[in-house]
Amino acid sequence: MHITLVYAHWLTADTDERIIEQMKEEHPLKSLLTTGEVADAVLFFIQSSRHINGVNMLMNAGVDV
């Protein structure tokens, strides 16, 4: 398995909590993606069929749909 990058986000420990709360409020699921959710998705592909390859995993709650 080859993983280049899941996603590097600009949020840091220094990000103002008001910005984070605004992002949550504007998000369709009213929450931000957790590292655990990313890990679950990666684990799904690791444990799935060997015939799945070349997958770009976009995790954004359907914002781009």
- Residue 28: HSE in the Cβ half-sphere, 13 Å Cα cutoff: 7
Quick one: pLDDT band at residue 65, thresholds 50, 70, 90? low
Look at residue 57 and tell me if it is in a domain. no
Look at residue 56 and tell me if it is in a domain. no
pLDDT, tens digit (0-9, with 9 covering 90-100), for 48-64? 877 877 777 777 776 66
Look at residue 37 and tell me if it is in a domain. yes
Number of structural domains found in the chain: 1
Evaluate if residue 1 carries a pLDDT over 50: no
Q: What is the model's pLDDT at position 47?
A: 87
Evaluate if residue 8 carries a pLDDT over 60: no
Look at residue 28 and tell me if it is in a domain. yes
Provide the residue range defining the domain that includes 26: 17-47
Q: What is the model's pLDDT at position 64?
A: 67
- Contact status, residue 25 vs residue 34, Cβ threshold 8 Å: no
